[in-house]
């Protein structure tokens, strides 16, 4: 163990999905970003050259200044799992094995060499000086949550598809130590179970799981179909144990050795309808199946949390891994009050593994001390850890596109004007400060609109986001005002808890409402905040805090002063299939390609009707693969 003071450590995740880089110094998080934001390829898995370059530049460091570079999992253990799995299931999967081996031999087994070459493409690396470390996948997840949390002691729960062998883990963090107490191993996986239903309902695996979650409330809970599907799932597909462990019946799943998630014909025989082709119409059985697996998943997550409580008797719980992004399950877990407080890592998936790997190296390998922890704030700075752009970059973009703008000298004038435009039913592209780390837009790269407008959900989905009409939008609310709008009195800064809209704001459905199909249910007004109220009267809440995003807080406050409402729609600044925008130029292109009314970057407002005609040489809609 080595002294950790002033150690500068770079964490990397890459080669599977959601490549990212993060840099810390003396345990403090300096910068973090996903590669997709630079390359404009959603879920980009390539070695994160651009994200690393940004992190180094922001920290004022070169690669040769680093005390360690840490990769977020151990590829040789993953290769061991691959070989043992193919052997266990042989002769099944022979074709898949033949296809996988060249990639593993060429890229994954020589990962040290590939990482060094990737770093060398940024700057010439002193091979003798470079310390290259590898953290286990679920340790990276656990470290990303616990060491960034405000807790000195906490239970830790990580749940995802699969790391090396582990698919879920329960541990305890205390001071600078993390102890793993229990693991669930491949092929039994909550994440892979949920992804299998994502696949069968026609969505893209490792991308469309949040769509399945959003579709679930359209299931008819009282029809009997959901109950039947749950019984089929728990009788034939997954054995759910009280301690949160599960056993998946591999006769129905092909992810272990095949190129698909499930055996389609067996699932069709089980559920009575075929796998939905991508982009085809959604029908009631898809909605009912989505609700069934969502409820089964919630049961498993609650069982795991109860087991974590039993094993640790801790007051607090930290969560990470892709399943921790299931904010409906998180809301149910929060309601269960098993723990006094939850902390869910905002970049809970593989991207956050880069940060976790760096933190694990600092505290475990180098023996760093956690100092000055409080129960008030985590150390993620609101997750605003990415690049920011000065006026010169905004002006350069405006000159390039000959884009007229209005520049404001005073912040209050800018925010009052923005609030006025939103109140007049305008949609706003909002590009401010440092970009968010993680999949959620949190008021730095956001599209904002009036949550009170009954037509806004349809407008945003159809004219701006170009995405499926059933998908809901999230509210951003002043942290001090949250209890006046939602059944929640605490913080939810990372948009990772779903809670009901307050009863006195809800509008009951008319008799016979549940007999409508999905589209028939969609545009009933459900509350006096219709654009952010999902079909089950819930909302995925973001509480906005003056301490972490003062400008966004001031905008919400200005909107409240003008309208009496402290809530805005906050959705990510992108179109379907596109990563969230990074640069001012990304923002302007997205603004001009869509039905957005205004773009506000820094202190500059661009009005759509004042902009020159937008022409592109290629069909930009073909640029992004649908997710």
pLDDT per position as a tens digit, 20-38:
999 999 999 999 999 999 9
User: Residue 86: its pLDDT value, please?
Assistant: 64
Does the structure show a pLDDT above 60 at 2? Answer: no
Mean pLDDT of 391-418: 98
What is the homologous superfamily of the domain 8-148+347-379 according to CATH? ATPase, nucleotide binding domain (3.30.420.40)
Does the structure show a pLDDT above 80 at 95? Answer: no
DSSP assignments along 451-489, one per residue: TT-TTHHHHIIIIII---TT---EEEEEGGGGGGTBS--
Q: How far apart are the first and last CA of the chain?
A: 44
Please answer whether residues 566 and 560 qualify as being in contact, where contact means their C-beta atoms are separated by less than 8 angstroms: yes
Per-residue confidence band for 104, with pLDDT thresholds at 50, 70 and 90: low
CA dihedral 453, 538, 201, 221 (to 10 degrees): -120
527 bridge partner residues: 506
Distance between CA atoms of 586 and 394, rounded to whole angstroms?
Answer: 11
CA nearest to 8, candidates 19, 22, 20, 139:
22
Residues of the chain with CATH 3.90.870.20: 391-622
> What HEC string does 570-626 produce?
EEECCCCCCCCCCCHHHHHHHHHHCCCCEEEECCEEEEHHHCCCCCCCCCHHHCCCC
User: Residue 518: its pLDDT value, please?
Assistant: 84
Please answer whether residues 51 and 33 qualify as being in contact, where contact means their C-beta atoms are separated by less than 8 angstroms: yes
Express each pLDDT in 136-175 by its tens digit.
Answer: 999 999 999 999 999 999 999 999 999 999 999 999 999 9
* Residue 327 CB-density burial (10 A; 0-12 exposed, 13-18 middle, 19+ buried): buried
More confidently predicted of 130 and 319: 319
Per-residue confidence band for 106, with pLDDT thresholds at 50, 70 and 90: low
499 bridge partner residues: 539
- The average confidence (pLDDT) of the chain is 93
Distance between CA atoms of 357 and 318, rounded to whole angstroms?
Answer: 16
Per-residue confidence band for 209, with pLDDT thresholds at 50, 70 and 90: very high
The architecture in CATH of the region 391-622 reads Alpha-Beta Complex (3.90)
Distance between CA atoms of 24 and 355, rounded to whole angstroms?
Answer: 8
Neighbours of 369 (CB within 10 A): 12
Residues of the chain with CATH 3.30.420.40: 8-148+347-379, 190-329
Does the structure show a pLDDT above 80 at 223? Answer: yes
DSSP assignments along 259-273, one per residue: SSSB-HHHHHHHHSS
446 phi/psi in degrees, rounded to 5: -125, 160
Does the structure show a pLDDT above 80 at 100? Answer: no
Mean pLDDT of 386-404: 98
CATH 1.10.10.10 is held by the domain 190-329: no
User: Residue 1: its pLDDT value, please?
Assistant: 41
Looking at residue 104, the DSSP 8-state letter turns out to be: I
User: Residue 513: its pLDDT value, please?
Assistant: 85
Does the structure show a pLDDT above 60 at 372? Answer: no
CA dihedral 101, 168, 141, 147 (to 10 degrees): -160
Handedness of CA 365, 370, 376, 378 (dihedral sign): negative
Handedness of CA 358, 363, 366, 371 (dihedral sign): positive
| DSSP H stretches of helix in 32-106 | 36-39, 49-59, 75-89, 94-103
**What strands lie across the sheet with 341-344, from one edge to the other?**
177-185, 166-174, 153-159, 316-320, 341-344
Distance between CA atoms of 153 and 395, rounded to whole angstroms?
Answer: 48
Does the structure show a pLDDT above 70 at 620? Answer: no
User: Residue 112: its pLDDT value, please?
Assistant: 87
User: Residue 81: its pLDDT value, please?
Assistant: 74
Express each pLDDT in 439-490 by its tens digit.
Answer: 999 999 999 999 999 999 999 999 999 999 999 999 999 999 999 999 999 9
Distance between CA atoms of 75 and 137, rounded to whole angstroms?
Answer: 9
Structure token digits, residue 381: 């700075």
Express each pLDDT in 250-299 by its tens digit.
Answer: 999 999 887 789 999 999 999 999 999 999 999 999 999 999 999 999 99
Express each pLDDT in 438-449 by its tens digit.
Answer: 999 999 999 999
Does the structure show a pLDDT above 90 at 197? Answer: yes
CA nearest to 323, candidates 181, 202, 225, 184:
184
User: Residue 87: its pLDDT value, please?
Assistant: 62
| Total residue count of the chain as it appears in this document | 627
Express each pLDDT in 540-596 by its tens digit.
Answer: 999 999 999 999 999 999 999 999 999 999 999 999 999 999 999 999 999 999 999
State pTM to two decimals: 0.95
Does the structure show a pLDDT above 80 at 342? Answer: yes
Express each pLDDT in 40-67 by its tens digit.
Answer: 999 999 999 999 999 999 999 999 999 9
Does the structure show a pLDDT above 90 at 133? Answer: yes
262 bridge partner residues: 253
Structure token digits, residue 64: 């040769």
User: Residue 79: its pLDDT value, please?
Assistant: 67
Give helix then strand counts, H and E, for the chain.
19, 21
Please give the helix or strand (H or E) that residue 160 lies within, else none.
none
DSSP assignments along 366-413, one per residue: S-PPP-S--SS--SSGGGB-S----HHHHHHHHHHTT---EE-SSHHH
Half-sphere CA count of 564, side-chain side, radius 13 A: 3
Please give the helix or strand (H or E) that residue 213 lies within, else none.
helix 209-215
Does the structure show a pLDDT above 90 at 615? Answer: no
């Amino acid at each position: 163990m080595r002294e950790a003071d002033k150690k500068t450590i770079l964490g990397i995740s890459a080669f599977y999905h959601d490549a990212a880089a993060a840099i810390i110094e003396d345990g403090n998080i300096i910068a973090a970003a996903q590669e997709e934001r630079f390359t404009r390829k959603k879920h980009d898995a390539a070695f994160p050259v651009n994200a690393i370059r940004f992190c180094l530049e922001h920290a004022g460091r070169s690669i040769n200044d680093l005390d360690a570079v840490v990769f977020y999992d151990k590829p040789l253990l993953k290769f061991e799992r691959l070989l043992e799995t193919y052997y266990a299931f042989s002769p099944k999967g022979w074709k898949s094995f033949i296809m996988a081996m060249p990639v593993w031999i060429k890229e994954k087994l020589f990962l040290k060499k590939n990482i060094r070459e990737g770093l060398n493409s940024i700057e010439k690396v002193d091979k003798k000086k470079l310390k290259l470390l590898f953290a286990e996948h679920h340790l990276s997840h656990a470290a990303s949550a616990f060491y960034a949390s405000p807790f000195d002691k906490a239970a830790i729960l990580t749940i995802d598809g699969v790391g090396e062998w582990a698919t879920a883990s329960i541990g305890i963090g205390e001071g600078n130590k993390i102890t793993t107490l229990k693991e669930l191993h491949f092929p039994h996986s909550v994440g892979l179970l949920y992804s299998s239903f994502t696949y069968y309902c026609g969505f893209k695996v490792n991308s469309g799981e949040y769509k399945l979650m959003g579709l679930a409330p359209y299931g008819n809970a009282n029809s009997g179909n959901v109950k039947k599907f749950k019984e089929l799932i728990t009788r034939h597909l997954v054995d759910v144990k009280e301690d949160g462990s599960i056993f998946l019946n591999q006769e129905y799943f092909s992810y272990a050795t095949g190129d698909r998630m499930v055996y389609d014909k067996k699932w069709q025989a089980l559920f009575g309808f075929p796998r939905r082709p991508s982009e085809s119409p959604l029908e009631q059985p898809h909605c009912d199946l989505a609700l069934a697996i969502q409820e089964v998943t919630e049961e498993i997550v609650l069982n795991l949390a109860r087991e974590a409580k039993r094993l640790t008797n801790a007051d607090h719980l930290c969560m990470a891994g892709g399943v921790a992004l299931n904010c409906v399950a998180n809301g149910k877990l929060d309601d269960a009050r098993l723990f006094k407080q939850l902390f869910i890592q905002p970049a809970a998936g593989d991207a956050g593994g880069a940060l976790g790997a760096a933190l694990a190296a600092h505290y475990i390998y180098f023996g760093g001390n956690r100092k000055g922890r409080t129960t008030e704030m985590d150390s993620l700075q609101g997750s605003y850890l990415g690049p920011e752009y000065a006026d010169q970059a905004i002006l350069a973009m405006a000159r390039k596109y000959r884009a007229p703008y209005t520049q404001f000298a005073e912040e209050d004038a800018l925010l009052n004007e923005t609030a006025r435009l939103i109140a007049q039913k305008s949609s706003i592209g909002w590009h401010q400060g440092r970009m968010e780390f993680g999949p959620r837009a949190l008021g730095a790269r956001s599209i904002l609109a009036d949550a009170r407008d009954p037509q806004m959900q349809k407008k945003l989905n159809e004219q701006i986001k170009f995405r499926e009409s059933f998908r809901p939008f999230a509210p951003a609310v002043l942290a001090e005002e949250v209890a006046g709008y939602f059944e929640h009195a605490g913080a939810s800064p990372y948009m990772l808890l779903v809670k009901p809209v307050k009863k006195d704001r809800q509008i009951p459905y008319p008799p016979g409402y549940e007999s409508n199909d999905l589209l028939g249910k969609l545009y009933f007004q459900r509350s006096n905040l219709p654009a952010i109220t999902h079909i089950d009267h819930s909302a995925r809440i973001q509480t906005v805090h003056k301490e972490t995003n003062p400008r966004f807080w001031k905008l919400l406050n200005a909107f409240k002063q003008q309208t009496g409402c402290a809530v805005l729609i906050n959705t990510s600044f992108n179109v379907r299939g596109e990563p969230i925008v990074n640069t001012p130029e990304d923002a302007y292109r997205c603004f001009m390609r869509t039905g957005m009314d205004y773009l506000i970057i820094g202190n500059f407002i661009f009005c759509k009707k004042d902009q020159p005609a937008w022409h592109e040489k290629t069909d930009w809609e073909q640029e992004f693969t649908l997710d």
